[in-house]
Amino acid sequence: MQKALKLITAMLLTIAMMPAQAARIKDIAAVAGVRDNQLVGYGLVVGLPGTGESTPFTDQSFNAMLQNFGITLPPGTKPKTKNVAAVAVHATLPPFTKQGQTIDVTVSSIGSAKSLRGGTLLQTFLKGLDGNVYAIAQGSLVVGGFSAQGADGSSVVGNTPTVGRISNGAIVEQEIANPFGRGDFLTFNLFESDFTTAQRMADAINEFLGPEMAAAVDATSIRVRAPRDISQRVAYLSTIENLTFEPADGAAKIIVNSRTGTIVVGQNVKLRPAAVTHGGMTVTIREDLNVSQPNAMAGGQTVVVPDTEIEVTEEDGRMFKFDPGITLDDLVRAVNQVGAAPSDLMAILQSLKKAGAIQGQLIII
């Protein structure tokens, strides 16, 4: 154990002297199996100030709740549930969360409730993908939105009043197992797959731990030998995740958001020789309605006659040429000089990609 601690101390001292521009392993990769888990449940929110609902599933859930408390309504009785709302409850269970700890929950109306403000969530089972209950939620909701309605039917709604949150609103009843303490290996998965980055990460780990301690499985996963003792494994992993190395540059990409006009260009994008010209034509159609009225003795009828005027304006197109190896930054600068809009730049980029003049991927979302 002392030998392992000395090794870890030496590694930490070496890490502290690494250049600042290198990335830590913990910032670009995560241990396989150490992950969040989604939980979901169905429940009732009560105590609403008349902003609830009366739907078949809400009434059925309300009657089932009363039966659990030994209360049975007479046949044919329809409860007034304007102070009750059926809701979906969801939460995220972080890894290594222990029994008895608490997690935050989000509560959302699934019926016709107008607002959940002022309501209280009753005991709700939160289940995982396997159908088992891992947490139980209950508590008062904090709702950021609001709604108000006047006697004449007018209404005003701010933010979203049908979604609320309960901080530390669920108690964990069962832990979810993960593979952290099993086997002789730990696997790191890169957040962004890249063969070069995976190999560099394996080389960095081998440089500190020794040869054949880590190996890149593919573009995403790096497998590392690990001690079986859990206490040693925690210290071992703490050292590894703080190792630093220089990841590979990402692939040359251009990301275009066609809805917002946002264009993001990667640093490695370059252009082949190309010449671009871009012009615009504007067609304006204006229609006026004129009244044609005959003379008093003419015996005709008064009619409305449309008067349509069409105007076509064509702007002068300017051509600009690029030499080999020029960057996309130069293209953007040239397009801005001729006064092209972001939508025009999108059209130019698509045409350049179609012509094979862009060295990189053009991704339109």
What's residue 267's pLDDT? Answer: 72
∠359-363-365 over CA atoms, to 5°?
Answer: 165
Q: Which of 172, 198, 229 is the last residue of a domain?
A: 172
Structure tokens at 65: 């709740």
Pair 73, 153 in one domain: yes
Segment 170-215, tens digit of pLDDT: 999 998 888 887 888 889 999 988 899 999 999 999 999 889 899 9
Pair 41, 160 in one domain: yes
Pair 149, 190 in one domain: no
More confident residue, 150 or 73: 73
Pair 316, 216 in one domain: no
Averaged pLDDT for residues 14-39: 77
Pair 198, 142 in one domain: no
Nearest-Å Rg of the Cα atoms of the chain is 33
What's residue 7's pLDDT? Answer: 41
Q: Which of 172, 198, 233 is the last residue of a domain?
A: 172
pTM for the full predicted model: 0.67
Averaged pLDDT for residues 104-132: 92
Averaged pLDDT for residues 41-54: 89
pLDDT band at 312 (very low <50, low <70, confident <90, very high): very low
- The percent of residues in the chain predicted with pLDDT above 90, rounded, is 30
Segment 66-99, tens digit of pLDDT: 878 788 777 777 777 788 999 999 999 999 999 9
Determine the Cα–Cα distance for residues 214 and 205; give it in Å rounded to an integer.
6
Closest by CA to 143, choosing from 125, 120, 124, 123, is 120
Q: Which of 115, 147, 172 is the last residue of a domain?
A: 172
Pair 41, 167 in one domain: yes
Pair 27, 47 in one domain: no
> Which of the residue ranges 54-68, 103-117, 332-346 would you say has the lowest mean pLDDT?
332-346
Pair 133, 188 in one domain: no
* Residue 210, domain CATH: 3.30.1360
What's residue 57's pLDDT? Answer: 80
Pair 152, 206 in one domain: no
Pair 212, 139 in one domain: no
What's residue 63's pLDDT? Answer: 80
Pair 337, 315 in one domain: yes
Helix (H, G, I), strand (E, B) or coil at 20: coil
For the purposes of burial, counting CB atoms within 10 Å of the CB of 110, is it exposed (0-12), middle (13-18) or buried (19 or more)? middle
- The answer, yes or no, to whether residue 1 has pLDDT greater than 90, is no
Domain residue limits at 157: 37-172
Determine the Cα–Cα distance for residues 37 and 17; give it in Å rounded to an integer.
37
Q: How many domains does the chain have?
A: 3
Segment 245-268, tens digit of pLDDT: 988 887 788 888 777 777 777 777
Range with top average pLDDT, 12-16, 48-52, 283-287: 48-52
- The answer, yes or no, to whether residue 10 has pLDDT greater than 50, is no
Q: Are 166 and 154 in contact (CB under 8 A)?
A: no
- 234's CB contacts (< 8 A; 6+ apart) are none
Beta pairing class for 214-216 and 221-225: antiparallel
- 94's CB contacts (< 8 A; 6+ apart) are 36, 103
Pair 158, 46 in one domain: yes
Give the sheet arrangement for strand 326-327, strand by strand. 326-327, 270-271, 358-359
